[in-house]
Structure 1
Amino acid sequence: MGVPGAVSSAGVSSSIQSLLAERDTRWYRGHIGKLNGIIFFVLIMSMTNGYDGSMMNGLTALDNWRTFFKNPQNKPTLFGVYNAIQSIGTICGLPFAPYASDYLGRRGAIFLACTIMIIASGLQAGAQNVAMFIASRFLIGFGVSFGNISAPVLVSELAYPTHRGPLTSLYNSMWFLGSIVAAWTTFGTFRIQSTWSWRIPSAIQGLPSVIQFGMIYFIPESPRWLIAHGKDEAAIAFLRKYHCGGDENDPLALFEYEEIKRNIEHEKEASAQSSWKALFTEKANLRRIRIIIAISFFSQWSGNGLVSYYLAVVLEGIGITSQNHKTLINGVLQIWNWFWAILGALNVERVGRRFLFLASTGGMCICFCLWTACSAVYAKSSHDFDPACVAKNKGDTSKCVAKDANRQAGHAVVAFIFLFNAFYAVAMSPLVVSYCVEILPFRVRSKGVMVKSMTISAALVFNQYVNPIALAKIHWKYYIVFCAFLAFEFVYCFFFVMETRGPNGPLPLEEIAAIFEGPAHFGFQKRPEMPGARADDEAVDADADSIRKEKENTDAEFIERK
């Protein structure tokens, strides 16, 4: 296999650029601004996941939560279950999620997800014992599975052509908005001397779902889903209203409709027997699924799980034991992460996906190695604990600072945690969802996203269950595992991750398939009749003919280069 970058540099058909030339495509103007405002309410689905990790970081630092649930942090196996149970719930829901997305529609699946998560958040806030708390978190994960399949797909299928990459990348970046709300909520409530110190954050986890539940009526259905289900008129109405400002004669609506219609028909013919079979047997899909599974594991096994769910334990390992300091660091870290995630999302079309993946994995590897080295220095200098502190905490030295501890090494660990998270957030947060969505063809898009979510959830369960046990047994030495795995990630991304940015700008979802399947995927057939089109609109037909000719010329160049 050649260098992946060489594949993308050849380019694919980019005729849409001629239709977008000289248009005002600023994200906040007119019909485009209205569409992006609507898409924002789809993006916040990701907040629930981000809220959970940060909330659990905050709760495990709260004495009231620890006392109510009988100090689960001292029982590594049970402690892992508290965090892993949501991912287990997600795994249980994922087999049903693609069917909900494909048959109920993207909106219908989101509505179902919100309903489940609102009920589950209420049960979590009212938990009276360990079993009720764990069960409610399982139910939250079950609901999340439906939202995580449908929401990013809906964003990618609604977005204006030039905004699809950044908006889909922003989906997973909203994870950090949820984590910010959770971190600062627990920072504020830890002072409450009752169970409300953890019940309030638990209840607020349902807030994004409440907002989406109320706004679902105003969110349009995917035009691709509508066309696939024979509702062409509704799809055309959406394209004209939100992509063309209501202009019925705008050739952009014709171009998008024709390309979506043709691509869906092509995929129906190619995968008439079984789309699940096509996902794992067709050569192009196997290349897609190999990359999707790899980056899904990378997004969870890069060492970020230590910070996402066990930051309190990591900080205690370098002598930071104060509730105030732990919750404050958690809050500041989430704002820092969100900044870098947004920066990465907004620059996917400028610098490309491949560059971001390589910069992210390389930077994380360097930072984690330095983080590990500083942790080792701190650990080797920390031996003599204050007997009074040890006695007060019944032998638990995690709340005591050694007299001879190398505080500079401990502070350096905090610095490298921030730098590591910056490199992680700039690519892994925005691209783990958007890249997977855009490389999948329509017929297997929901199912491919389900494989991504299943892989992430499986990796999370392993991380959330194993991390506390490994940290308790071998402490900082556990970090060495992540140093080695991060080096592997960089090598894998260098050889296998392909660029999906076009040579002249963003590509439609239908055209990205050429990177994996070749330009034959776009052999133009007779243009489908456009519902509601004026029969005598010669100008539109002329524009379409011009576009087809330009496509044929560009495809010929593509074959020649290959």
Structure 2
Amino acid sequence: MGGPAAVSAGGNNAFTHLVDSSKPWWMNRRLLALNGWILLLLITSTTNGYDGSMMNGLQSLPQWESAFNHPTGGMLGLLNAIQNIGCLAAYPFSPYMSDGLGRRTAVAFGAFIMCAATILQTASHSVGMFIGARFMIGFGLTFAASAAPVLVTEIAYPTQRAPVTSLYNSLWFLGSIVASWTTFGTFHIPTSWSWRIPSALQGLPSVCQICLIWFVPESPRWLCSKGREAEALRILAYYHANGNEEDPLVEYEFEEIKAALRLDREVAANVGWKSLFKTPGNRRRLRIMIAIAFFSQWSGNNLISYYMNKIFISIGITSATTQLLINGILNIYNFIIAILAGLLCDRIGRRPMFIVSTIGMFVFWTLQTICFALYSEHGNIAAAHTFIAMIFLFYAFCEIAFTPLIVSYTVEILPFAVRAKGFTIFNFSVTLSLIFNQYVNPIALAALGWKYYLVYVCWLAFEIVFIFLFLVETKNRTLEETAALFDGEATAERLAYTAAEHAGVVASEEHSEREKASTEDITEVANV
């Protein structure tokens, strides 16, 4: 078989001929169960999405405004940012729990903290209590959100890995939809329950996870890294081949995982934080994932997400009902686009989607800026109405890449040994950018008005240049094969042939010759 040639070509062809295509996945009971467990992990993202939309909606509720003394400026920024400050506080600890105790344990621990914090948030009777509860929600969210997408990537069926991982961040909007329509529905409740009900519902995904997480399979890669290879093989066989441990696909996956772990130990025996900076390949990974982390929050989208009511007031839309209604419709619209984009990522490719996304955002943010300026300077009502349309078009392009792809792309470019730590740096970067935005945006918007939009026009132009120059295409590669794009083709060929030999795909004689040549190349990579 021509496995390595396929690897060199950069496709899933190295294993797709091993996949059982006799019936669709939804008719396979065990694959159906696996995707059910994956869905339980994916809803971690809904908690985060719920929070942003809930805080946006609460700012339009007079009952919440009165309960917390009509917060503005720095206090309003703190109320929004405190959850991400809580996230920041947990980052030094989350990768150690995920790598040490397992992905499932980290998700369960985070969900438990978020449940307790949601109860405290719902019962809040002072600003300090509300801020403390939101800090705890962020602290717990870090543990769950750092482990859940990694576990999804590591247990998903090979041909479904990219689309299902892309759904992780897309489900941010599921939480956002529920929050926006909940606040719209509770708007007419005259008591504090108008904001306490949305606060209580924030804990629902975490309650589901605490009850069911123990039925979710642990990561085969994590199990192998802990010497529990028999358990890893059983999980791969049970979900990917109806229990057949001798299935060619299962053997291929299992041996590729073991080969990748051996290679990680050879090339980077020290897999601590420093290993993320030691090799040229890892430094390229860091440059890309930190950039897209900041781009995902600094493209103007967060200005709209967290302070939509302030923007609407600036263009003459003062009705709380209208603000909440637009917020609810926008979230449904964004959710549909993000889901469709995520499902198409293997057909279109990551790089084209990121390029189209950034160019579209630049165009429609520029048009938003023009409309905002026309209304602010000349009172042009038509410009205000056009501004709303530009928001929807801006988000259409934002959701093409910067919701569905940022998590899946980051996870797939990181090798196993540094995946949890690297993903923590990505989340840390996202949180830093969020905190900055949540503090600065309300202050800058109040001080500069429409001129503040010009800052994002310039930043979006920079994003286009960066994405075009540095983003690497990873379409149709396994997690192990993606290493070739950053560490050299020799790495991928060694992994593919090691797995193929044990799975009976290539002849041992042919493998021996190529393994020898590949080992020499790997030594060169390690020396670099």
Q: Tell me if TM exceeds 0.5.
A: yes
Q: Please state if 1:481 is matched with 2:455.
A: yes
Aligned AA (1:202)? S
Q: Please state if 1:40 is matched with 2:10.
A: no
Aligned match of 1:363: 360
Q: CA deviation at 1:277?
A: 1.2
Aligned AA (1:221)? E
**Cα distance between partner residues in 2 of 1:539 and 1:454:** 39
Aligned match of 1:520: 490
Aligned match of 1:352: 349
Q: CA deviation at 1:210?
A: 0.6
Aligned match of 1:202: 199
> What fraction of aligned residue pairs are identical, expressed as a percent?
50
SS for the counterpart of 1:191 is coil
SS for the counterpart of 1:511 is coil
Aligned AA (1:345)? G
**Cα distance between partner residues in 2 of 1:314 and 1:9:** 50
Q: CA deviation at 1:25?
A: 5.1
Aligned match of 1:147: 144
Structure 1 residues 188-227: aligned runs within 5 Å: 188-227=185-224
- The structure-2 alpha-carbon separation of the partners of 1:13 and 1:247, relative to structure 1 and needing over 3 Å to count, comes to closer
How many residue pairs are counted as aligned between the two chains? 515
Is the 1:13–1:551 Cα contact (8 Å) retained in structure 2? Answer: no
Q: Please state if 1:271 is matched with 2:268.
A: yes
Aligned AA (1:429)? T
**Cα distance between partner residues in 2 of 1:552 and 1:317:** 65
- 1:275-327 CA deviation, whole Å, 9 max, x = no partner? 31110121100000000000000000000111111011111111111111011
Segments of structure 1 that go 5 or more residues without pairing to the other structure are 1-7, 383-405, 531-537
Aligned match of 1:65: 64
Q: Please state if 1:433 is matched with 2:407.
A: yes
Structure 1 residue aligned with 2:481, among 511, 517, 536? 511
Aligned match of 1:3: none
Structure 1 residue aligned with 2:121, among 119, 124, 128? 124
**Cα distance between partner residues in 2 of 1:547 and 1:31:** 36
- 1:433-487 CA deviation, whole Å, 9 max, x = no partner? 0000000000000000000000000000000000000111111110111111111
Q: CA deviation at 1:381?
A: 2.5
- The structure-2 alpha-carbon separation of the partners of 1:545 and 1:184, relative to structure 1 and needing over 3 Å to count, comes to farther
Structure 1 residues 242-261: aligned runs within 5 Å: 242-261=239-258
Q: Please state if 1:422 is matched with 2:396.
A: yes
Is the 2:256–2:495 Cα contact (8 Å) retained in structure 1? Answer: no
**Cα distance between partner residues in 2 of 1:253 and 1:286:** 32
Q: Please state if 1:461 is matched with 2:460.
A: no
- The structure-2 alpha-carbon separation of the partners of 1:508 and 1:193, relative to structure 1 and needing over 3 Å to count, comes to same
Is the 2:110–2:143 Cα contact (8 Å) retained in structure 1? Answer: yes
Is the 2:271–2:417 Cα contact (8 Å) retained in structure 1? Answer: no
Larger C-alpha radius of gyration, 1 or 2? 1
Aligned match of 1:17: 16
Aligned match of 2:472: 498
Aligned match of 1:392: none
Work out which structure has the larger RCO, using CA pairs closer than 8 Å and 6 or more positions apart in sequence. Answer: 1
Structure 1 residues 381-460: aligned runs within 5 Å: 381-382=378-379, 406-460=380-434
Is the 1:94–1:450 Cα contact (8 Å) retained in structure 2? Answer: yes
Moved more, 262-271 or 19-28: 19-28
SS for the counterpart of 2:25 is coil
SS for the counterpart of 2:404 is helix
TM-score where L is the length of structure 2: 0.93
- 1:4-53 CA deviation, whole Å, 9 max, x = no partner? xxxx9952684212212745453563322221111000000000110000
Structure 1 residues 221-236: aligned runs within 5 Å: 221-236=218-233
Segments of structure 2 that go 5 or more residues without pairing to the other structure are 1-6, 523-528
Q: Please state if 1:52 is matched with 2:51.
A: yes
TM-score where L is the length of structure 1: 0.87
- The structure-2 alpha-carbon separation of the partners of 1:279 and 1:290, relative to structure 1 and needing over 3 Å to count, comes to same
Q: CA deviation at 1:527?
A: 9.3
**Cα distance between partner residues in 1 of 2:66 and 2:393:** 33
Aligned match of 2:109: 112
**Cα distance between partner residues in 2 of 1:33 and 1:555:** 38
